[in-house]
Amino acid sequence: MKLSLLSGQAGCRAQASHVFPTKLGSGPRLQWGLTRLAGTERSSRDREGLQGQGRGTARAVPTLSSAPSSAEMLRGKRVIVTGASSGIGEQMAYHLARMEAHLLLTARTEAKLQKVVERCLELGAASARYISGSMDSPSLPEQVLREAENTWGGLDMLILNHIGQSGFTFFSGDVGHVRKLMETNFVSYVALATAALPMLKESEGSIVVVSSIAGKVAGPFTAPYSATKFALDGFFSSLRQELIIEKVNVSITLCILGYINTESAVRAVSHVIPDTPAPKEECALEIIRAGFLRHRELHYPARTVSTMLLIHSISPELLNSIIRSSYRLENVQRT
């Protein structure tokens, strides 16, 4: 594990001009051949009601009408983002920096984290630092939370986003890979949340778990990955219930994402899935917003994901066959 020394005040003040798009994802999203079924994407803000949860007697949950602008959402809040060196995690770090949050970022690659931290400080983060290390190491989660406690004396939001390398191919029979992926994509999430809970109870904060449609509907070529995402749903949905029963005001937001245009996802699937991925910048902002509003679940892109879940609840076999027929199966590489 390596700890950064890069932290401090922003190089320049945050520009408070960053606002939510008035209509998110207004263009057509062609995903898994479901576009015609799903219709035009619409903001999950337009679609969803508030699903605040885990409220004790204390703080009111912001309503959509009373919610501050995105620039104010997390001003001065202490936020951990895992998997922040690239993709959606990196974009979340930049949004949070513009909101003037305090940031602790994690991933394995120190050089990338250094650059992201520098950019966050330029964008207006109240402070930004990182810890590098692999989340398949059992000691890292506690080290990350100890760092938050020592630096900030508390924590407001934990965003769990990292994933280990998987691939998009037939299951190879490598059980060792499944075990390692479970450790990285699932067990470390549990360990991070467990270590964070005392501080989050104190601040009445939030846990945000980044998952996937592959954690609700199992398609081909993602067996180990899909298993880790189903596990997250099982664990965190159960934990959410317990927090509500115990009147602990810590929210848990599970983010169900479709295909997003991160480099790693496009590299892994574009030769098999011909659809247009949704933008990572907007996706990142929606995740932060859903966490701030203490939503139970985020579906992004909203129309595509919700339509898939609806079809799956009516006829799983129909959805499975739509998915299979929309893939370019001849391009799937065998390992």
Alpha carbon distance 159, 90 (integer Å) = 12
Least distance (Å) from ligand LWJPFZD4 to the CB of residue 264?
4
CB 333 within 8 A of CB 169: yes
- By C-beta, is 110 or 122 nearer to ligand NDP? 110
Segment near ligand NDP (CB under 6 A); pick from 22-30, 104-112, 196-204, 307-315: 104-112
- The residue nearest ligand LWJPFZD4 at its CB is 212
DSSP one-letter code for 102 = E
Q: Give the residue, chosen from 61, 99, 125, 163, that forms a contact with ligand NDP under the rule CB under 6 A.
A: 163
> Does residue 86 belong to the site contacting ligand NDP (CB under 6 A)?
yes
Question: Which 8-state DSSP code applies to residue 9?
Answer: S
| 106 part of the interface to ligand LWJPFZD4, by CB under 6 A | no
230-253 burial: b if 16+ Cβ within 10 Å, else e: bbbbebbeebbeebbeeebbbbbb
Binding mask 179-218 for ligand LWJPFZD4 (x = CB under 6 A): ---------------------------------xxx----
Q: Does 304 bind ligand NDP (CB under 6 A)?
A: no
- To which residue do tokens 């391009």 refer? 331
**AA letter at 142:** E
Residue 262 as a binder of ligand NDP (CB under 6 A): the answer is: yes
Question: From the centroid of its chain, how far is CA 156?
Answer: 16
Which of ligand NDP, ligand LWJPFZD4, none binds 112 (CB below 5-8 Å, type-dependent)? ligand NDP
Q: Is 99 in the site for ligand NDP (CB under 6 A)?
A: no
Task: Tell me how far apart the alpha carbons of residues 310 and 109 are, in angstroms, rounded to a whole number.
Answer: 39
Q: Distance between CA atoms of 301 and 42, rounded to whole angstroms?
A: 8
CB 290 within 8 A of CB 210: no
Indicate which single residue of 123, 199, 200, 268 sits in contact with ligand LWJPFZD4 (rule: CB under 6 A). 268
What minimum distance in Å lies between the beta carbon of 163 and ligand NDP? Answer: 4
Q: Which helix (H) or strand (E) holds 303?
A: helix 302-314
Interaction partner, residue 326 (ligand NDP, ligand LWJPFZD4, none; CB < 5-8 Å by kind): none
Residue selected from 265, 290, 298, 308 as contacting ligand LWJPFZD4 according to rule CB under 6 A: 265
Residue 169: both structure tokens together: 């191919």
| 154 close to 80: Cβ distance less than 8 angstroms | no
Q: Is 161 among the residues that bind ligand LWJPFZD4 (CB under 6 A)?
A: no
The whole-angstrom separation of Cα 219 and Cα 89 is 24
Give 239's contacts (C-beta < 8 A, 6+ positions apart). Answer: 193, 252
Q: How far is the CB of 94 from ligand NDP (least distance, A)?
A: 13
Q: Does 301 bind ligand LWJPFZD4 (CB under 6 A)?
A: no
Minimum Å gap between C-beta 10 and ligand LWJPFZD4 is: 32
Among 44, 222, 228, 306, binds ligand LWJPFZD4 (CB under 6 A): 222
